[in-house]
Amino acid sequence: MTIDWEKEVQQRTPEMLADLAALIAIDSSRDDEHKTATAPLGEGPRDALLKMLAIGDRDGFTTKNVANLAGRIEYGTGTEALGLFAHMDVVPAGEGWTTEPFKLIEQDGKLFGRGTSDDKGPSIAAYYGLKIVRDLGLPLRKKVQLIFGTDEESDWTGLNRYQETEKMPDFGFSPDAEFPIINGEKGITDLTIKFPTLTHTTTAPLILQSFTAGLRSNMVPQNATAILTGTTDLNAAFTAFLAANPVSGQLKQTGKQITLTVTGKVAHSMAPEAGINAATYLAAFLAELDLDQAGKAYATIIKAHLHQADRGQHLNIAYTDEIMGELTASPDLFHYQAGQVPDLLLNVRYPKGIDAPTITKNIQATLAAYQVEITASAHSMTPHYVSPEDPLVATLLRVFEERTGQPGHQAVVGGGTYGRLLKRGVAFGALFDENANVMHQANEYTPKADFLKATAIYAQAIYELAK
């Protein structure tokens, strides 16, 4: 039986775009400040999940809601289950958009909107892949479960709850990365580094009152702000600094208060080199000023150990594995308030061959003079790898090659996807060109042609794996 998967997708394109638009319209970034008993992660994540499940109900699938934290759309029967893991939450929109972030806009062959690439677009593509298989009445021997989380961008509360109450699939993939396949994912740990020795200050021409930057632990900070007090004229020095570096900024002075802001470029922390870390650039400027002792030390630490050092080379944690590649270290959250214990959060993604305790120990030793206190997030992940010899990997690569005419190959990323929830779990698409990765960035988009191509790939993959 020959199936024209692309034709099946084309016939459903209008409804696919309508469903995607409905999801994009929901700002589903986690909102703990407004959480309730019925919206445990905020209204946005809940509403996006409910919308996705409503789409499944509309089309006649079996659905299940797990405490408004996770959900499932299911089709077929069998003792073995194929799982597809996606997520309904997004990172905050941030600044720099030229379109409305929560409105699906088609322009120049691209679909713009927060979540079009990560992960609402791929979620709809996977859903319609399953719908095509169902509509065609193709015989399956395994159950297919589309499982949706609501906080993949933070600590996976949704899927953690799901695992407590539901049986997990036997194998599967997550449409939340790149083609041709991601069969390896680095370990991930968020390290909060506190500096208790920097609570006291001394008299100086300039006092650092506060330093703040960052939105999430998995986003390179686009903006950073420092507030100083003093009478020193910094205009000429700051103007020269901006001219010499790939950032923009502003200086405002009201009486003795000086506010400095720097704007860089946001990026996903799995590839910090794709961004411009506003915080480390601002710290590099501050480190050259005649600051109070605590403020000077905080800025100097950032400049010396974190600025333009996204492989951890100045923290003695640089490491490379032949298969999984380099360790990355992205400083993403910064908190400094005069008189209080300052801290920063370092997002580390590491290959097999090194572990989180060793990383922490080496940072502790490197910063020993400051008697730092390092705390690892409870939501840490060890490296994950599925052999290319596994039938799951082999089948997905074959499908990719048949649908694209391009050679398939294994790959490892620094991102953490739901694929690692299963021993035989991988990430599969939906990004075709890693050079066009705009996940977590302003003006996020997915090429319309790629969105449709991914749907055809998912349809065939679901059939091949579950038949």
pLDDT digit string, tens, across residues 156-201? 999 999 999 999 999 999 999 999 999 999 999 999 999 999 988 7
Question: How does DSSP classify residue 412?
Answer: E
Is pLDDT above 80 for 447?
yes
Higher pLDDT, 414 or 59: 59
Q: What was the pLDDT predicted at 434?
A: 72
What is the rounded distance in angstroms from the CA atom of residue 52 to the CA atom of residue 429?
20
Residues 352 and 239 in one domain: yes
Residues 309 and 400 in one domain: no
Who's near 14: CB < 8 A, 6+ residues apart? none
At 298 the three-state DSSP class reads helix
Residues 120 and 250 in one domain: no
What is the rounded distance in angstroms from the CA atom of residue 315 to the CA atom of residue 295?
20
Residues 339 and 240 in one domain: yes
Last residue of a domain, one of 350, 376, 402: 376
Residues 195 and 245 in one domain: yes
Is pLDDT above 90 for 119?
yes
Helices (H), 367-423: 391-404
CA-nearest of 81, 54, 74 to 141 is: 81
Who's near 362: CB < 8 A, 6+ residues apart? 315, 316, 317
Q: Are 118 and 101 in contact (CB under 8 A)?
A: no
Residues 216 and 149 in one domain: no
What is the rounded distance in angstroms from the CA atom of residue 329 to the CA atom of residue 272?
8
The CATH number linked to 432 is 3.40.630.10
Residues 149 and 46 in one domain: yes
Largest CA distance in the chain: 81
Residues 9 and 92 in one domain: yes
Q: For the segment 262-286, what is each residue's pLDDT rounded down to a tens digit?
A: 999 999 899 999 999 999 999 999 9
Is pLDDT above 90 for 416?
no
User: Which residues make beta-bridge pairs with 446?
Assistant: 111
What number is the average pLDDT over the span 438-467?
96
Q: What was the pLDDT predicted at 435?
A: 67
User: Which residues make beta-bridge pairs with 340?
Assistant: none
Q: CA angle, 40 as apex, 35 and 46 as ends, to 5°?
A: 100
Is pLDDT above 80 for 69?
yes
Last residue of a domain, one of 349, 376, 403: 376
What is the rounded distance in angstroms from the CA atom of residue 153 to the CA atom of residue 175?
14
Last residue of a domain, one of 351, 376, 401: 376
Q: Which of 96-100, 171-175, 325-329, 380-384 has the lowest mean pLDDT?
A: 380-384
CA-nearest of 138, 147, 137, 139 to 170 is: 147
Q: What was the pLDDT predicted at 379?
A: 79
Residues 37 and 171 in one domain: yes
Report the catalytic residues: 89, 152
pLDDT band at 203 (very low <50, low <70, confident <90, very high): confident
Question: What total number of domains does the chain contain?
Answer: 2
At 191 the three-state DSSP class reads strand
Phi, psi of 261 (to 5 degrees): -125, 140
CA-nearest of 205, 200, 220, 221 to 342 is: 200
At 270 the three-state DSSP class reads coil
Average pLDDT, the chain: 96
Q: Which of 89-93, 253-257, 414-418 has the lowest mean pLDDT?
A: 414-418
Q: What was the pLDDT predicted at 72?
A: 98
What number is the average pLDDT over the span 346-366?
97
What is the rounded distance in angstroms from the CA atom of residue 429 to the CA atom of residue 46?
25
Residues 260 and 226 in one domain: yes
Structure-block tokens of residue 446:
């997915």
Residues 316 and 202 in one domain: yes
Q: Residue 63 is part of which domain span?
A: 5-186+383-466
Q: Is the peptide bond before 267 cis (omega within 30 degrees of 0)?
A: no
What is the rounded distance in angstroms from the CA atom of residue 357 to the CA atom of residue 355?
6
At 144 the three-state DSSP class reads strand
Q: What was the pLDDT predicted at 378?
A: 81
Residues 201 and 125 in one domain: no
Q: What was the pLDDT predicted at 407?
A: 95
The CATH number linked to 285 is 3.30.70.360
Place of tokens 């759309």: 73
